[in-house]
């Protein structure tokens, strides 16, 4: 099966300037995603979709391909990830190339591992899934979440669970924000979606400087355990 890794790394970043090439523990953060993808042995090609010459230069230096640049339409703040993937597919088709499986790996996912990529791929193939992603369990039952008014008054979001014990509620999960395996035919628009759980220490959304520092601390901790 022919598989493509797409790492979408545009130049613009509102919250952390130049985030995709900012140094993370000594090297550009996008390099971690590229190196894990290349080291997994799962892909026939690892490419970076970018509109930025500096990011393209870093990607090439790390061993990824940049066969074409991203269009302005998919490089703005509002372009959905699905549109970026579709554009990459179309440009490869114009070059006479197609792929059965695609893995979209986010550029700011330094905690990603070869093992997670392999597990996602096995689920994609073994379950006949349209897409697969890693998930992180919420640390507390979301049905017992609280809201606070402007005056500071506290109320339950789901008052019907006021007396429900948290251990009696089903666990809930959120997207780990690392990667999405998918069948090229349907990509992220397919309904047959699967996921698998990873621990909270193995993932970190990076939108602020505090998030960045937390990711570095997690990486160093996992490195001490021999897991990165």
- Residue 1's pLDDT is what? 76
- Residue 228's pLDDT is what? 60
- 164 assigned to some structural domain: no
- 159 assigned to some structural domain: no
Give the pLDDT confidence of 43-58 residue by residue, as tens digits.
999 999 999 999 999 9
How many domains does the chain fold into?
Answer: 1
| Contact call for residues 112 and 32 (beta carbons, < 8 A) | yes
Give the pLDDT confidence of 67-97 residue by residue, as tens digits.
999 999 999 988 999 999 999 999 999 999 9
pLDDT band at 227 (very low <50, low <70, confident <90, very high): confident
- 199 assigned to some structural domain: yes
150 vs 133, more confident:
133
- Residue 96's pLDDT is what? 97
Q: Determine phi and psi for 9, rounding to 5 degrees.
A: -135, 85
- 150 assigned to some structural domain: no
| Contact call for residues 205 and 149 (beta carbons, < 8 A) | no
Closest by Cα among 15, 131, 5, 123 to 59: 5
pTM: 0.95
- 161 assigned to some structural domain: no
Gap between the Cα atoms of 215 and 205, Å rounded: 8
The range of the structural domain enclosing residue 95 comes to 3-141+172-224
Q: Is the pLDDT of residue 204 over 80?
A: yes
- Percent of the chain residues topping a pLDDT of 90: 91
For range 30-52, the mean pLDDT: 98
In this structure, what CATH number is given to the domain that contains residue 131? Answer: 3.90.550.10
Closest by Cα among 110, 101, 100, 114 to 177: 110
- Percent of the chain residues topping a pLDDT of 70: 100
Lookup: tokens for 54: 């500096």
Poorest-pLDDT segment among 3-7, 108-112, 150-154, 194-198 = 150-154
Task: Give the highest mean pLDDT range of 126-135, 147-156, 161-170.
Answer: 126-135
Query: CA 153 from chain center: how many Å?
Result: 36
Q: Which residue, chain included where needed, has tokens 């990603």?
A: 112
- 115 assigned to some structural domain: yes
- 147 assigned to some structural domain: no
- 108 assigned to some structural domain: yes
């Amino acid at each position: 099966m022919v598989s493509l890794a797409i790492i979408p790394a545009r130049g613009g970043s509102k919250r952390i300037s130049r985030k995709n090439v900012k140094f993370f523990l000594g090297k550009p953060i996008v390099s971690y995603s590229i190196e894990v993808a290349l080291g997994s042995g799962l892909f026939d090609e690892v490419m970076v979709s970018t509109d930025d010459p500096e990011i393209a230069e870093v990607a090439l230096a790390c061993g990824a391909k940049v066969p074409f640049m991203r269009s302005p339409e998919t490089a703005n703040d509002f372009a959905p990830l699905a549109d970026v993937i579709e554009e990459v597919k179309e440009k490869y088709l114009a070059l006479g190339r197609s792929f059965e499986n695609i893995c979209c790996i986010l550029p700011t996912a330094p905690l990603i591992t070869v093992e997670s990529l392999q597990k996602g791929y096995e689920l994609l193939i073994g379950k006949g899934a349209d897409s697969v992603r890693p998930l992180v369990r919420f640390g507390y039952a979301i049905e017992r979440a609280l809201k606070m008014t402007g005056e500071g008054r506290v109320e339950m979001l789901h008052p019907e669970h006021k007396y429900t014990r948290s251990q009696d509620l089903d666990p809930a999960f959120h997207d780990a924000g690392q990667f999405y395996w998918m069948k090229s035919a349907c990509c992220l628009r397919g309904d047959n979606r699967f996921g698998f759980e990873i621990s909270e220490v193995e993932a970190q959304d990076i939108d602020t400087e505090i998030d960045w520092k937390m990711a570095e601390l997690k990486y160093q901790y996992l490195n001490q355990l021999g897991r990165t």
